[in-house]
Amino acid sequence: MEEKKNRIKDLPKIERPREKFLKKGPEALSKSDLLAILLGSGVKGKNVQKLAQQIIKKFGKAFLNITVDDLLKISGIGQVKALQIASAISLVKRFYEEEKGNEIVIKNSKDVISLTYDLRDKKKEYLICLYLNARNVLIKKETISIGTLDKSLLHPREIFYPAVELNSASIILVHNHPTGDPTPSKEDNTIVEKIVQAGEIMGISVIDFIITAKNGNYSFHEVLRGVDENIDYVAEGVQVGLFDFLEIKKPTYEIDAKKIKENYFYIPQVKQNHIQLHNRRYIGSKHKLIEWIFSVINKECGGDSFADVFAGTGIVSAIATKHFKKIILNDFLYSNYAIYQAFFGNGEWNKNKIDNIIKDYNNIYGEDLEDNYFSNYFGGKYFSYNSSKIIGFVRENIEKNKNNLTSREYYMLIASLLYTVDKIANTVGHYDAYFKKDSINDDFFMKPIDPVNVDEISIFREDTNLLVKKIKADVVYIDPPYNSRQYSRFYHVLETLTKWDKPKLHGVALKPDPENMSDYCRINAKTRFAELVRYIDARYLVVSYNNTYDSKSNSSKNKITLQEIEKILQRKGKTKVFEKDYKYFNAGNTNFNNHKEYLFVTKV
Ligand SMILES: C[S@@+](CC[C@H](N)C(=O)[O-])C[C@H]1O[C@@H](n2cnc3c(N)ncnc32)[C@H](O)[C@@H]1O
């Protein structure tokens, strides 16, 4: 009797799905009503509406990915009904794909799976490629191979030829494992590496390689990125491809670079007992490359004004003063800004006054001083106790004396102190760590700086991407960091000493809270670089680049490739590339073979 009551024909006529559809249209029906119409009849002990409700409830949002096998697991559903449902879903999807093909946006692995839902039931292995445009909109879905995936048979050409034809920005590959286990085989891993490497050469990013099987899916993107399922492929506004995560050696990219023999001679100034601008240890300082750089600049560029927008030590600007009338200097570090004000500033200063103050500072003995902020943190670590007491005392004294000093004199004293600190620091040259020693020499000795002559100068301490929207120069020299090493963290002791706001310091390396963290050291470096180039108002752009990429350590890997730089610059103007073999900064982990320094010159 109960069973009879559940039969559909016992429902009031208006509630029956078919009648409801005819009277009120499909919008009035629930999902289970619509499915009930499709099923037509119930099964033994369950009327069609109950059956439909059960299916909708069981699969929920995964309904569009239901397979015949999934349906057969529901008691009472036979092959005919399973095929009815699966075919209807496929039919709708097919039309949807055809009609809206240009508008399917692939945001994450879930989107990929629902586009390739039929693959996991295949008895043979398939390799499918989704070709995407720059907005991750699907351009085309193509079957690349059917049958066992074999690295010796699969040629990247089969994947990338259509990508070039379709003007595709990136691709996603989907492969099925008929065994039911989605775990990648050794062969899969080799193939992924081969394809990702080819993609890097072609400039077509391989966003993901997904293995789909009855027992689940495996996304290389999610696993390598170490994130949860369904995280979007776009991170921090930037598309992330597999190449960014894989420890793959950069493919050799033959760039048409001219080797330039220097014909420019630079004779460093020598002034006894004075500090020259280049007398400091600084990662990426172009001091040793300056002749080569100006051989190129003098030959390729012209004009009156020169902007050094990631100036670091400022050495490039110091040489530029010999060839350009107007110099613009910028770096977002406080210590670099103080150094530029001291060496390049055009404010008044009195040499005798500076010399006498420095003489007084050199007559101070650490033993006579109390502990201070600087010695409390850094004593016996980055410096000897006595030296750190003197450094802290001198810095405090400069601040107290500020009203008796011109702005130029104030910065000159700070710069002298910074160079002295660099000379005596118990480190390899930066402040990520200090040597563990039983005793450190007390060798504090300050010298005055020897300023650089310049006609016209503008000094900034800004984020370069913001600055370039406000300045204009004939030549803009661009030398950003290219790996994840943050300058503000490496030179934190100099930053703390310059700012002198005595922050709380943390960890073994005694660093302050992060400030001035560069986007050029992050995953979105490429976007920032493209934005920078777009906004620069100049006749010539000169960009330095070095291939630290071969390094084994992730932090040494470049965030932007040579090829990407060239592509971005070519959009701005005709670009030439110059090359020089050069040995660079080594923290012990870097492979020096084939180490090259490049200079791009773009005529806008
Ligand atoms: C490779 S170094 C430049 C070296 C310099 N050409 C020299 O010869 O000394 C890069 C410099 O860019 C600065 N920098 C990094 N990101 C910056 C940003 N977003 N805005 C301003 N300066 C930045 C760093 O502080 C660092 O001094």
**What is the amino acid identity at position 146?**
I
Who's near 96: CB < 8 A, 6+ residues apart? none
3-state helix, strand, coil in the chain (%, to 5): 45, 15, 40
CA–centroid distance, residue 293 to ligand 1 (Å):
17
CA–centroid distance, residue 330 to ligand 1 (Å):
8
DSSP 89-136: HHHHHHHHHHHHGGG-B--SHHHHHHHSGGGGG-SS-EEEEEEE-TT-
Q: Is 127 among the domain residues?
A: yes
Interval 476-518: pLDDT, tens? 999 999 988 899 999 999 999 999 999 999 999 999 999 999 9
Q: Provide the pLDDT for residue 24.
A: 78
Residue with the smallest CA separation from ligand 1 atom 18 is 463
Evaluate whether 565 touches 482 at the Cβ level (below 8 Å): no
Residue 518 near ligand 1, beta carbon < 6 Å: yes
Among 310, 337, 536, residue to substitute to test ligand 1 (most atoms within 8 Å of Cβ)? 310
Q: Is 366 among the domain residues?
A: no
Residue 460 near ligand 1, beta carbon < 6 Å: no
Helix (H, G, I), strand (E, B) or coil at 516: coil
Name the domain boundary from 71, 99, 127.
99
Residues 73 and 121 in one domain: no
Range of the domain at 162: 104-244
* Of 52, 28, 29, the residue nearest 40 (C-alpha): 52
Residue 469 backbone phi and psi in degrees, to 5: -75, -15
Residue 480 near ligand 1, beta carbon < 6 Å: yes
Q: Is 50 among the domain residues?
A: yes
Q: How many angstroms separate the CA atoms of 218 and 208, rounded? A: 10
Which residues lie across from 434 on neighbouring strands?
none
Q: Provide the pLDDT for residue 238.
A: 63
Residue 463 near ligand 1, beta carbon < 6 Å: yes
Q: What predicted TM-score, i.e. pTM, was given to this entire model? A: 0.63
* Closest ligand 1 atom, residue 488 Cα: 25
Residue 42 near ligand 1, beta carbon < 6 Å: no
Evaluate whether 40 touches 48 at the Cβ level (below 8 Å): yes
Q: Provide the pLDDT for residue 5.
A: 43
pLDDT below 50 — which residues of the chain?
A: 1-6, 14, 549-552, 583-593
* Closest ligand 1 atom, residue 482 Cα: 1
Q: Provide the pLDDT for residue 12.
A: 53
Among 518, 519, 585, residue to substitute to test ligand 1 (most atoms within 8 Å of Cβ)? 518
Q: Provide the pLDDT for residue 403.
A: 97
- The CATH number covering residue 589 comes to 3.40.50.150
Residues 111 and 91 in one domain: no
* Closest ligand 1 atom, residue 315 Cα: 8
Residues 478 and 587 in one domain: yes
Q: At what angle do helices 492-499 and 334-344 cross, to 10 degrees?
A: 70
* Closest ligand 1 atom, residue 286 Cα: 8
Residues 89 and 111 in one domain: no
Who's near 307: CB < 8 A, 6+ residues apart? 327, 328, 329, 330, 471, 473, 475, 476, 477, 538
Evaluate whether 597 touches 542 at the Cβ level (below 8 Å): no
Alpha-carbon Rg for the chain, nearest whole angstrom, is: 33
Q: Is 448 among the domain residues?
A: no
Hey, how many other C-beta atoms are within 10 angstroms of the C-beta on 81?
20
* Count of the separate structural domains present in the chain: 3
Q: Provide the pLDDT for residue 247.
A: 62
Number of residues that this document lists for the chain: 604
Residues 198 and 338 in one domain: no
Residue 331 near ligand 1, beta carbon < 6 Å: yes
Residue with the smallest CA separation from ligand 1 atom 3 is 312
Residues 224 and 341 in one domain: no
- The CATH number covering residue 193 comes to 3.40.140.10
* Closest ligand 1 atom, residue 463 Cα: 20
Residue 334 near ligand 1, beta carbon < 6 Å: no
Hey, how many other C-beta atoms are within 10 angstroms of the C-beta on 429?
14
Residue with the smallest CA separation from ligand 1 atom 15 is 518
Residues 85 and 125 in one domain: no
Q: Provide the pLDDT for residue 198.
A: 86
Residue with the smallest CA separation from ligand 1 atom 20 is 463
Residue 308 backbone phi and psi in degrees, to 5: -110, 95
Residue 218 backbone phi and psi in degrees, to 5: -130, 115
3-state secondary structure 236-298: CCEECCHHHCCCCCCCCCCCCEEECCCCCCCCCCCCCCCECCCCCCCCCCCHHHHHHHHHHHH
What is the DSSP-derived secondary structure letter of residue 46?
B
CA–centroid distance, residue 316 to ligand 1 (Å):
12
Residues 327 and 464 in one domain: yes
Per the listing, tokens 């890097």 go with: 200
* Closest ligand 1 atom, residue 528 Cα: 19
Who's near 242: CB < 8 A, 6+ residues apart? 192, 196, 206, 207, 208, 209, 220, 221, 224
Q: Is 22 among the domain residues?
A: yes
Q: Is 399 among the domain residues?
A: no
Residues 158 and 279 in one domain: no
Q: Provide the pLDDT for residue 459.
A: 98
Evaluate whether 362 touches 446 at the Cβ level (below 8 Å): yes
Name the domain boundary from 99, 131, 154.
99
Residues 225 and 95 in one domain: no
Residue 170 near ligand 1, beta carbon < 6 Å: no
Residues 93 and 133 in one domain: no
Residue 310 near ligand 1, beta carbon < 6 Å: yes
Residue 236 backbone phi and psi in degrees, to 5: 50, 40
Name the domain boundary from 99, 116, 144.
99
Helix (H, G, I), strand (E, B) or coil at 350: coil
Residue 483 near ligand 1, beta carbon < 6 Å: no
Residue with the smallest CA separation from ligand 1 atom 12 is 310
Residue 332 near ligand 1, beta carbon < 6 Å: yes
